[in-house]
């Protein structure tokens, strides 16, 4: 797709950067990122999925089970360009810049760089020319990584579950994105809200109406219903739209990908070619077929199980008596003094970090 027909990187144009963000966890952020990226790939776009979350759930959701030698952390550090940070996925048209535990340190390392809010934007300038869309899965907090994603963004999608606490988180996330737009990314004009995990209830209807009244046309005309297939997809490390393209939630995510192309990316207001959805569904069904590593015909990736927790050492027969006998040699911690001391240290540390963060975040350009 060329830059003139709705936002692509082919022909040398800058790819569209779509950021999926919310400060609250458990609202379908990573599920949205993964299924949006796979849906766009099924619709024929060249897509890169960037996993900025140290939990790396987006990475495992597209089938990468072992830590990547290079990925988002190395890209942010400037050690590699986008081409070398990418790795292929089982789904044609979709490449992955993998997350890793190292991203837990990225906030600290980026903070000491000159103009730290532009690190990711500069890194994405090396994106290959054939890429149409970059989808970024943010961590569930408004730290430096999420700020970098918002600064680099052309489109921000905020998933939200219609619930009182999620509504409060949505307002905070929206406010923070607006601050980034005001100070660092004045070209960010496309922000959209996606309802996830919806269900039929009077309370949810009231909350949905309240959000629509507050944000109006920013609310996308698609709702992702609560679906147990989402849990199965996560357990099998396979995107929902590939596991079962016909399930209602998968259909909603495919509709989101269509809306992204027709309303959010590039100039928007464009119709997809006739039969595009049917072709995408055929592609998704094809991707669901067993991969070469499968051992049984028709087998899906197995459900991964958590490793067993090894028991600790058993106490000796007289361990309580031994503790009592040696109690005079052990430091005695009583009262609230130590708790107050720890609290004061944490408050002081938070004040220092908050001041440093605010200096570069909110000072006028």
Tell me the pTM: 0.78
**Mean local confidence (pLDDT), 273-291:** 90
Residues 222-232 pLDDT 10s: 999 999 999 99
Q: Percent of the chain, pLDDT > 90?
A: 56
Maximum average pLDDT range among 160-169, 195-204, 235-244: 235-244
Question: Could you name the CATH architecture of 3-307?
Answer: 3-Layer(aba) Sandwich (3.40)
Q: Percent of the chain, pLDDT > 70?
A: 75
Residues 239-281 pLDDT 10s: 999 999 999 999 999 999 999 999 998 655 578 888 999 999 9
Going from N- to C-terminal start, the domains of the chain cover 3-307, 319-360
Overall residue count recorded for the chain in this entry: 365
């Amino acid at each position: 797709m060329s830059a003139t027909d709705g936002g692509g990187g082919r022909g040398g144009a800058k790819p569209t950067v779509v950021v999926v963000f919310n400060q609250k966890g458990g609202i379908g952020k990573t599920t949205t990122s993964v299924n949006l990226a796979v849906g766009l790939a099924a619709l024929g776009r060249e897509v890169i999925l960037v996993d900025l979350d140290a939990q790396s759930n987006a990475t495992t959701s597209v089938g990468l089970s072992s830590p990547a030698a290079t990925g988002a952390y190395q890209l942010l550090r400037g050690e590699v360009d986008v081409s070398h940070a990418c790795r292929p996925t089982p789904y044609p048209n979709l490449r992955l810049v993998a997350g890793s535990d190292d991203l837990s340190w990225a906030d600290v390392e980026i903070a000491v760089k000159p103009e730290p809010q532009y690190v990711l934007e500069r890194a994405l300038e090396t994106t290959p020319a054939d890429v149409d869309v970059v989808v970024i899965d943010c961590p569930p907090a408004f730290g430096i990584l999420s700020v970098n994603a918002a600064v680099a963004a052309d489109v921000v999608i905020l998933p939200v579950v219609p619930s009182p606490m999620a509504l409060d988180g949505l307002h905070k996330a929206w406010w923070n994105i607006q601050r980034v737009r005001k100070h660092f990314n004045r070209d960010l004009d496309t922000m959209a809200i996606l309802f996830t995990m919806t269900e039929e209830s009077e309370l949810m209807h009231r909350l949905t109406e309240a959000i629509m009244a507050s944000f109006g046309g920013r609310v996308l005309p698609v709702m992702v219903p609560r679906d147990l297939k989402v849990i199965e997809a996560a357990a099998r490390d396979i995107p929902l739209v590939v596991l079962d393209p016909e399930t209602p939630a998968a259909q909603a995510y495919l509709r989101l990908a269509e809306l992204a192309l027709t309303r959010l990316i590039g100039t928007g207001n464009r119709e997809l070619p006739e039969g595009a959805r049917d072709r995408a569904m055929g592609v998704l069904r094809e991707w669901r077929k067993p991969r070469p590593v499968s051992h049984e015909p028709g087998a899906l990736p197995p459900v991964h199980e958590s490793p067993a927790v090894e028991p600790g050492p058993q106490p000796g027969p007289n361990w309580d008596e031994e503790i009592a006998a040696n109690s005079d040699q052990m430091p005695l911690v009583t009262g609230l003094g130590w708790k107050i001391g720890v609290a004061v240290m944490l408050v002081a540390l938070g004040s220092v970090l908050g001041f440093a963060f605010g200096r570069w975040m909110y000072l006028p350009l």
